């Protein structure tokens, strides 16, 4: 089971054009394939192609293939700097990313019911005010 996010940009034609421009820019600057109807593994294959391109074109002494799970040592060795005494930062760990995914889902899906509820209460408030005014006009004085 997966949730798909509605794309608000798809509602506005001008923003759809920006998506197209972004795809073209990725094609031109990163050598990505231009494919608006992307298969599920499209991003993985584009990433692997980009990594291969970088490895083929950057001299080995100027290239560090680095995994953040390795910590400070390979990075500091590559840069010729001492390893700091502080722990390596892990700001975007999987727990944080799961939390942010939940926040994005709530933000994406909660606004519509909230808007409907607000419209309901506004209508009810307006109708009750109109009804009470109408009743006051009907009372004999």
Give the whole-number percent of the chain exceeding pLDDT 70.
Answer: 62
Q: Is the pLDDT of residue 84 over 80?
A: yes
pLDDT at 12 over 70: no
Mean pLDDT of 41-67: 87
Contact 63, 55 (CB under 8 A): yes
- How far apart CA 87 and CA 93 sit, in angstroms, is 14
- Structure confidence at residue 2 (pLDDT): 46
H-run or E-run covering 1: none
- Mean pLDDT of all residues in 100-121: 82
For 13, 60, 71, the CA distances from 66, given in Å and listed in that order, are 40, 13, 9
User: pTM of this prediction?
Assistant: 0.43
Collapsing DSSP to helix, strand or coil, 14 comes out as: helix
Q: In whole angstroms, what separates CA 83 from the centre of its chain?
A: 33
Under 8 Å CB-to-CB from 81, ≥6 apart: which residues? none
């Amino acid at each position: 089971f997966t949730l798909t996010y509605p794309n608000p940009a798809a509602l506005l034609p001008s923003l759809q054009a920006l998506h197209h421009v972004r795809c073209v820019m990725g094609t031109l600057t990163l050598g990505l394939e231009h494919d608006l109807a992307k298969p599920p593994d499209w991003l993985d294959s584009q990433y692997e192609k980009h990594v291969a391109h970088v490895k083929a074109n950057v001299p080995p002494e100027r290239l560090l293939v680095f995994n953040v799970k390795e910590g400070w040592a390979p990075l500091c060795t590559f840069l010729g700097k001492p390893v700091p005494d502080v722990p390596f930062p892990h700001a975007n760990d999987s727990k944080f990313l799961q939390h942010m995914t939940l926040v994005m889902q709530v933000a994406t899906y909660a606004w519509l019911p909230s808007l409907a509820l607000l419209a309901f209460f506004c209508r009810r408030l307006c109708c009750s005010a109109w009804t009470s005014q109408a009743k006051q006009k009907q009372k004999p004085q």
